[in-house]
Chains A and B, each alone.
Chain A
């Protein structure tokens, strides 16, 4: 968090008294960012998700319309944008979590390693097994800490070395030191931040390829948020991470790539989310191509 100047607020309230450039400089210090996070353009990119003209509907109204971009492997991709821009709808398409919502429907393609995720013969259960998800509010099962992490392993039949696998996952989620002596305690007795790290441990225990995080820190205090962010820096070595956040500083801190979604009005007066700009995080925050991106990241539009 050190590279974010201390007077930068967490809020996205418009700040009319600042010029765009001032706001940008406050939002992020480019010299530090460059050192902290090499641009993903410089390393070889493996496309994990290729999204082509995705439009997602709840009922008749589209929630997001005509989204196309590529998500790369072993990077953190942040999805930012104002409330109602379809960030969550979009990320839930990536592991077919929207299937459980009866009125949901989508058009376009999401290719995951060249396989169309929405294809008729694709089993959503196996999709979710390879693409894990962590939700906005920590949602541990009302079981013991151990059983929470072991749950997915047991379901998927990964029962060999169950104890080792659980320990490994808890260590990766930086929770082991805090819970190693009380694995049998209820997960609900943990603090919010610990619960969220437990949910991350639960997600990585089944060794997925991708971890989707839907505003994972929005219900947490700043200290717990910082530990989740540290964790993401660690995990991107091994996983492809997509994180939805309404917190621009968080996107700036953790993401290599950033997609900015916003709300557009249709001809018939309906409002739906669209992808405005997708680029290296550094570029999005310091030199965006689109006026709407600039307005948003400088806090003129929220």
Chain B
């Protein structure tokens, strides 16, 4: 009887109050941390928008920069926008097929040991600093041959590759084995199973991963510093020549004495952030769609 009352007491009074305080405290801390992360994003975006919004007008997107004008004439970042789209586009063309194929090999065909060893290799590649990749491409492709937009794209592709591979691997791992077995049991060879069943189920997630990887490398400056920085101030569509890029424009314009160029640097930063934001939203939409496909809309 005494045991029972003792237990009942410990259930109601002290322990409960203590637990409620600890619970309240930890929940508060966790909420605070989450809010801080969101607040950081808001502060960064807001400060960039505040300083850069003034630079955004039609000229900003259609004209090329003037580093000597001291605000005398309207100028813009058309060459940097074109350059970034071409360089990033080429990087996607290089990294996406290679990354998806590598992930298919690792997830669908490779023996377990090979797969885990190579997965570690991709993680290491993912951790290599962007500037190291830049120097690597500089030493092997640029030194003695000159800069080119496509060499910058190659450097960005190296950065994208592990991101695309790892995200694709994760999506492929989500495709239930039962579906692969169903296809194999119908007399489908493995490559057809991969092509007709596994990939269609994973395509949304693959696009999500690729979009996030694109957003991530679009803002990289260091690899372009060595590979595609000596660009003229005119719009160039030729990737065999050095091309301007938004990150590199920010890097140079922010250092100028001309306040209008500094404002343009903020404006370019805003364009970059908007690009990343839109890409992330698109990626999320694809991700949701593919999840619905995998679960049958429930």
Contact status B296-A141, CB under 8 Å: no
Contact status B296-A142, CB under 8 Å: yes
How many B residues touch A, CB cutoff 8 Å?
26
Contact status B178-A132, CB under 8 Å: no
Residue of B nearest to A202 (CB): B186
- Determine which of B182, B183, B188, B296 lies in contact with A188 in the assembled complex, contact meaning CB atoms within 8 Å: B296
A97, A152, A199, A206 — most chain B CB neighbours (10 Å): A152
Contact status B294-A203, CB under 8 Å: no
In the assembled complex, the CB of A103 is this many whole angstroms from the nearest CB of chain B, namely: 9
B180, B186, B296 — most chain A CB neighbours (10 Å): B186
- Determine which of A126, A156, A199 lies in contact with B182 in the assembled complex, contact meaning CB atoms within 8 Å: A199
Bound CA–CA A152/B197 (angstroms) = 11
0/1 interface trace, chain B 109-121, chain A, CB 8 Å (1 if under): 0011000000000
Residues 180 to 227 of chain A near chain B (Cβ within 8 Å): 186-189, 199, 202-203, 206
Contact status B201-A142, CB under 8 Å: yes
B189 in the interface, Cβ–Cβ < 8 Å? yes
Residues 157 to 201 of chain B near chain A (Cβ within 8 Å): 176, 178-189, 192, 196-197, 200-201
Q: How many A-B residue pairs have CB under 8 A?
A: 75
How many A residues touch B, CB cutoff 8 Å?
29
Contact status B187-A156, CB under 8 Å: yes
Contacts of A202 in B (CB 8 A): 182, 186
- Interface residues of chain B, those whose CB is within 8 Å of chain A, are 111-112, 176, 178-189, 192, 196-197, 200-201, 293-298
The 3 residue pairs across chains A and B that have the minimum distance between CB atoms? A188-B296, A129-B187, A152-B186
A-B contact sample (19 more), CB < 8 A, given A140-B182, A187-B296: A100-B180, A102-B111, A128-B187, A135-B178, A135-B185, A137-B178, A142-B294, A142-B296, A151-B183, A152-B186, A152-B187, A155-B186, A155-B188, A188-B295, A188-B296, A188-B297, A189-B296, A202-B182, A206-B187
- Interface residues of chain A, those whose CB is within 8 Å of chain B, are 95, 97, 100, 102, 125-126, 128-130, 132-133, 135, 137, 139-142, 151-152, 155-156, 186-189, 199, 202-203, 206
